[in-house]
Structure formats: C-alpha cells, structure tokens
Amino acid sequence: MVRTGATLTDESLVGQPITLTNCDREPIHIPGSIQPYGFLLCLDPRTHRVVQASANTDQLLGLPAETLIGRDLTFLFHEERLQELSTQWFTLDENQRLQGVRLDQLASQPYFKLIQHRFDDLLWLEFEPVQDLTAGPLDMPSLNEALGQMLGATSVKEFCQHAVRQVSNITGFDRVMLYRFAEDESGEVVAEACRPDMEPFLGLHYPATDIPQQARAMYLRNWLRFIADVNYAAVPLVPVRTPSTGRPPDMTYATLRSVSPIHVEYLKNMGVQASMSISLIQDGKLWGLLMCHHESPRLISYELRDLCQFIGKTFSSLLKSKEQAEVFAYQLRLRETQARLFALMAELPDFRRALYEHTPTVLDAFACGGVAVCFDGERALLGATPTPAQLDELITWLHTNVPEEVFYTSSYARHNPAGVQIRAVASGILAISLDRQHRDYIIWFRPEVLQQVTWAGKQQKQEENRNGEIVLSPRQSFAAWSQSVENTSEAWRPIEIEAAQELRLRIADMRLKMFSEMETRAAVLSRLNTELERSNEELDSFAYVASHDLKEPLRGIHNYSLFLLEDYADKLDEEGVEKLRTLIRLSQRMENLIESLLQLSRVGRVETELRPVSVQAVLAEVTDILQVRLRETNTTLLVEGELPVVLADEVRLREVLNNLLTNAMRYNDKPDRYVWVGVAPEGLLSPRGPVPAKFRTLYVRDNGIGIDPKHHESIFRIFKRLHGPNKYGGGTGAGLAIVKKMIEKMGGQIWVDSITGQGSTFYFSVPIPD
C-alpha cells in the first residue's frame, strides 16, 4: 500500500471512492453520518440552537431534520428542564457525560439516554432510546471480583486473559480478543474468550496495514468504538458540513459516529455482525486493543459499554506495573543464577573453571542454546555451538569489526553474510570481550527462530471493480498463511545485556586480583623452588645412603647368618637353629622393604615422558612374562574388546599391568581363576567425579577374594597389607602405592570397586592422543 502522508484533516476525500493509493487518507473522523440506533443534534455553544441534525429524527421523533435547524430545544424539553441542561453545557469537554431524559414535549416517545460532550466548537447531544429510564443495576460484586483478579495477576499473559474474560462476561459477545501491537505495528492475538464452537484466533498475527495510521490516531483519542449492526445504513447529517466552518464536523468523540465502510466490509468478510473495540494505552502509545465480535447484531447499553471502557482504562493503568513485575521476576531468577556463579568463581582455586565445569555454568546465565568460553588460549563449548572452525571465523570478525566491550544482535547474518552458515545455532549472538588483544571472549548463542508467523488471511489488500471504478476492498479470504522470518533469533533483553556486562566486570576484577597475587607468589615460588632443589638433593643423598650404606651391612648380616646356619647348625640346639632362620628371613624382608621404598622414591623423582603406546601390545608383553605364573595358578586371562592407544610411559604402564595382574592371581582362592582386562564405558564416575574427556579408563577385574569397602583407600598406602606377611604369597605392601604413584605421574588416577568375596575391579585412567 502506498502511503502519501496525508493528515487527519484531509477532507478532500469526503464522498470519494477509497483506493489503494489513498486508503491511509480516508477521513474516518469526519464521515458526516451516524449509526441509526440513536439520533444526533449539534448545537452552537453560544446560542444553544441546532446547527446540524441526523436525518433519522423524522423516523425517531416524527420531526424532519430540516425543520430543526436554527431552533432551540424547546421542541423537546420544557423550559425548566432545558434550563437544567443548559447549565451543564458550560462545563462540558470532549469527555462524554451520560444522563437519562424524557422528551417532555413529545410524550409519545420512549425514554432516552442523553450522551453529551463539547468538541470542534459544537455541543454534541446524542440520544439512544431505551424502554425505561433506569439503567440496569451495576453488579458491584462481579466488578470487584474482576478488578481483584486483574490486580492479582502474576504475569502479563494472565493479566490479559482476565481482561478479555471480564469484558466477555459483561457484554456477552461471541468473541473477545486482546490484540497486542509489535514494534513494527503488526499485532498478535495474545488472549481470547470465545464460544466453544468457534475457531480460536489465539496466536494469530495481523499485518500493520489492517489498522491505518489515522485509525490508530483516533484510538488514542477515543477509547471505545461500537458498531451495533454492520449492515446498518449510515444516516447523514443535515447539513453534512457545519455552516460556520464549511466542513464536516470532527466526530472523533461521537458515540454514534459512522465507521469506515472499508472496516465494515472487513468485519462482514469475517462473519462479524456487531463489534466493539477498546483502546489499551501505555505512556501515550497504543499498546493494544480489546476487540469484541458477535455473529449477529447486538446492541449493548451505554452503561455496559462505559463499564468496559473502565476495564480498558484500568488495564492500561496497571499494565506498566505488570510488565515491570514480570521483568523483575525474570531479573530475580537471572540474579540468583549469577550470584551462585559468582560464588563458585570466588570459591574455586581457578575461577575460570567455574565458568564451565560446575553448576551453574555461564550457559545457565540466560535463556540460550549454547556458549563458548575462549580464555587464555583455552576453549570450552557448552550446548549447541558453531564448529571450532566457524567459531574461529566469528572471533576474527568480532576482533576486526567490534570495538565495543559488549556486542549483541538477534541477526548476526545481517552484520556478516557468513552468519547464514551458523544461523541454525547462532542467529543471535551476545559477546563480551575479556581481552581483545588475545581474543578472549565469552559468546552466547541463540538459534534461529523460524517464526512461522500466522497471519489472518493474505497480507495484501486487493482491488476490485465496482461500477467501473477501482476501489479498495478488505481481504476476501481469512485462511491462515505463514511467512518465515529468517536469520533471526529471539531478541536479547536489556537485563540480559546488563548481566553480561556485570559478568565481564567481575571477571576483569578477578583477573586483576589473580595477577596481583601471582606477583606475590612469584617471590614465594622462587624461594620454594630453591628449597625444593635442596630437598631433592638431600633426597638423592638419602637414596644413595639407603641403597649402599644400609643395604651393604644388611646383606652382611644376611650372609653371616647363612654361614652360621651352614657351618654350626650341628653345634646348636633346635631353638638356636630356628632363631638363625628367623634372622635370615627378617633380614631378607627388610631388604625387600628398602628396595620398595627406593623404587617408590625413584618413581616420584624421575620425569615421565608420555608417548603414544598400544595397551594391546604392552599387555601382550606382560602376559608373555607371566605365562608360567598363569599356568601354575590355573588363571585364565580374558581381554574384553579392543584396547586403545594411550599417552603413557611404556615402562611404567608395563609395571602397572604386571602388578595388577600379579595381585589378581595372588589374592584368589578359587580353583579356576579369571582375570579380565578391558576399557570402561564412557561416563564412568571416579571418586573425584567424571573422568575428563581426554582420558580413557582401563580396568583389571578378577574373581578373587575381594576387598572390604572400608579398605578401598588404605590399600594404596605404602607398606599397607590386609593379610599376614606369609599369607597369599607374602609381599611388602608397596605394590599398589607404587602403581598409584606411576598412574598419577602420567596424569591419571586409580581406584578400586570391590566387595569381600565377590572379586575386585581396579580402574585406572590414562590420557589419550588428540
């Protein structure tokens, strides 16, 4: 539709056909006619004489309109009644004032409701006939309940639904809708009350062109519009133009004002026979409309219409507080999540991990599909995000084109055509810059919302030929159709943008604190490193003494005991021989303990070099070494599935498997012994929580004697044995402590799952190649 920018005072179109080029200029405020369910008299405010009258006075009063021009109202009222009315006229403005009257001079006429107001330098007297003078009683309990429900509504949606329900109860219209305007002036039905047999309109959208600009302007001035019967024949004013101005009078505030024939035809095409609309206004702008439709003619009394207008004005006055309460509730949820996140950041040693490794994460900060944390060369992706390569492109674009600390858009593709490729997960972007130089960002993503916008009928209005003239017709079909709005996500709310900025500032503060602490730590670490180097030197000296100075005399004690036993056994009694044997046995055990201690010390001091190693190949070597022992103990070794390639120290991995397999054979009292080796399923929880994704968990399981859960931690301590030194093949109790040390040096962890009498499963994690 072409809009020419004509104003509401453009009266050049009066009496002309409305076409596609001038529909927005239709002078709906000066129709020069009224609806026929009442009659109208316009008086000169100075002389109180009739200057215009509706042509139906002849039908309703038996007095032709032409005969009334120039007369005062003594043809309707006695002098005393007329004096009473005239005193009110001095205080009138555009706001309507209602009272009941009897036309004293026309006794045969019914009672009338007289609606008066003053506008456009005229006194407007509108008469609606009624059967008796008294209006129906105002249902105060129902009105009180209605207002209570509206006040108690906890959301805007609930608030809207209460409003339509109350208007429906008051008027009895077949359908009452609340129609809310969007920023582009299109609208959506957000609440509805209708007969059960009617097709619902809830959720339907209507284009902005359905309500021309001059109609919107009038809705802001006059809160209520009413059509009792769309098939009415418009009643012209006599004369149509006001004599003092030479133009039709401005009927903006007239109750009986005739409506646009275009709007009437629009309603007919919807099957609507009676209509009422109530403006909903916020901060001087048209927020929406309460729309009432009936499938047959329906005359609603002025009192009930006025009550509905009161509902509309009450709704408008409460609307801002309801919207603010809804925003506050969302803000409160957002703040609670943010406070928990900030608390985690303060508690954890590395606050960066709190952003994505614990609950809540930055993904929970807002309603979004995914988030990317790009920080100090590391990246963490949560939820639905672009691929790493696409993320690189996005960060490059941000670095090059966005100098602001906070950037947000609901359509990234409108800023960067390459955004079309990631619209499925990242049509909407909210990014905070943590360090532009190093390209540190946190970026939240919202997916494309293919807004299947359902419009009521075709969006374009059509032209049709009538009597050889091309005129505008409202849409002839109201079948719903969809229009896709591509490359667009749900918009970011101001409070979300504010919260993102607060998170950016909090991270900046914590980084400054961390840098300050790091400077202090540097001096401490330097001193500690010096002490550590000295301690390592002392430990090396201790290892030398232990391996040479301690082991040498111990070996002499052992050897001389053997000599005594061999050379002088016949000279000693049985008790003396037994004591020598005990001395030999204890010295041997002490040498084994010293050797285990040295081995544990060596594991801690020697650097570990990790390389890709085939667990399958290492296990094969260990199995070959243990082949004889497997046969002697009647042990069957079973490999479950394909064993992976891991990043490990091959020698230490061989020692780990050797130790675990040896223990599995040793601590088993079954005639048929079994040992299983395999890869644990992903998602297995260790005592510390989930195993990191870059690690693989292996297991060694047996059907042996099992371990009481109360000993699951102590078995990994040095020299800890659960049985006597001579039971289950002896041993120093250092094996599992050494295995634990080896696994931890490779970055992994080891734990056991076992119950007494039901076998044991030893799990250990090792890193895997990228």
Residues 537 and 614 occupy one common structural domain? no
310, 327, 344: which is the final residue of a domain?
Answer: 327
Q: How many percent of the chain have pLDDT more than 90?
A: 32
DSSP letter, residue 17? P
Residue 164 covered by a domain: yes
Question: pLDDT tens digits, residue range 603-660?
Answer: 555 566 788 999 999 999 888 888 888 998 999 999 998 999 999 888 888 888 988 9
Instruction: Name the nearest CA neighbour of 257 among 228, 286, 282.
Output: 228
Residues 343 and 318 occupy one common structural domain? no
Do residues 383 and 370 lie in contact, with contact meaning Cβ atoms separated by under 8 Å?
Answer: yes
Do residues 223 and 286 lie in contact, with contact meaning Cβ atoms separated by under 8 Å?
Answer: no
Residue 354 covered by a domain: yes
Residues 280 and 250 occupy one common structural domain? no
Do residues 204 and 480 lie in contact, with contact meaning Cβ atoms separated by under 8 Å?
Answer: yes
Residue 467 covered by a domain: no
Do residues 716 and 737 lie in contact, with contact meaning Cβ atoms separated by under 8 Å?
Answer: yes
Give the span between the Cα atoms of 510 and 640, in whole angstroms: 48
Q: What is the DSSP string of 222-284?
A: -SEEEES-TTPPPEEEESSSBTTTTB----TT-TTBPPPHHHHHHHHHTT-SEEEEEEEEETT
Question: pLDDT tens digits, residue range 350-398?
Answer: 788 888 888 888 888 888 999 999 987 788 999 999 999 999 999 999 9
Peptide bond into 239 cis (omega under 30): yes
Residues 398 and 503 occupy one common structural domain? yes
Residue 458 covered by a domain: no
Residues 287 and 169 occupy one common structural domain? yes
Using CB atoms within 10 Å of the CB of residue 403, give its burial: 0 to 12 exposed, 13 to 18 middle, 19+ buried. exposed
Residues 81 and 205 occupy one common structural domain? no
Question: pLDDT tens digits, residue range 422-467?
Answer: 998 999 999 999 888 889 999 999 998 765 666 665 555 554 454 4
pLDDT value for 324: 85
Residue 412 covered by a domain: yes
The residues, any chain, with a CB within 8 Å of residue 20's CB and separated by 6 or more, are 1, 2, 461, 463, 470, 472
Average pLDDT over residues 493-504: 90
Residues 628 and 645 occupy one common structural domain? yes
Do residues 410 and 489 lie in contact, with contact meaning Cβ atoms separated by under 8 Å?
Answer: yes
Give the span between the Cα atoms of 392 and 386, in whole angstroms: 9
Average pLDDT over residues 503-508: 87
Q: Please list, residue by residue across 520-537, b when 16 or more beta carbons sit within 10 angstroms of its beta carbon and e when fewer do.
A: eeeeeeeeeeeeeeeeee
Q: Is 142 helix (H, G, I), strand (E, B) or coil?
A: helix
Residue 550 covered by a domain: yes
Q: What is the DSSP string of 87-103?
A: HHHTT--SS-EEEEE--
Give the span between the Cα atoms of 226 and 217, in whole angstroms: 17
Q: How many domains does the chain have?
A: 5
Do residues 363 and 371 lie in contact, with contact meaning Cβ atoms separated by under 8 Å?
Answer: yes
Residue 480 covered by a domain: no
| Residues spanned by the domain of 63 | 31-134+233-257
Domain of 38, CATH number, reads 3.30.450.20
pLDDT value for 476: 47
Residues 344 and 489 occupy one common structural domain? yes
Average model confidence (pLDDT) for the chain? 80
The residues, any chain, with a CB within 8 Å of residue 89's CB and separated by 6 or more, are 43, 45, 48, 116, 118, 123
Give the span between the Cα atoms of 608 and 638, in whole angstroms: 29
Do residues 487 and 420 lie in contact, with contact meaning Cβ atoms separated by under 8 Å?
Answer: yes
Res. 598 pLDDT band, cuts 50 70 90: low
Give the span between the Cα atoms of 136 and 115, in whole angstroms: 17
Q: Is the confidence at residue 557, as pLDDT, over 90?
A: no
Q: Is the confidence at residue 137, as pLDDT, over 80?
A: no
Residues 739 and 694 occupy one common structural domain? yes
Domain of 350, CATH number, reads 3.30.450.270
Do residues 456 and 478 lie in contact, with contact meaning Cβ atoms separated by under 8 Å?
Answer: yes
Domain of 620, CATH number, reads 3.30.565.10
Residues 79 and 180 occupy one common structural domain? no
Residue 575 covered by a domain: yes
Residues 663 and 714 occupy one common structural domain? yes
Residues 538 and 654 occupy one common structural domain? no
559, 588, 617: which is the final residue of a domain?
Answer: 588
Give the span between the Cα atoms of 337 and 361, in whole angstroms: 9
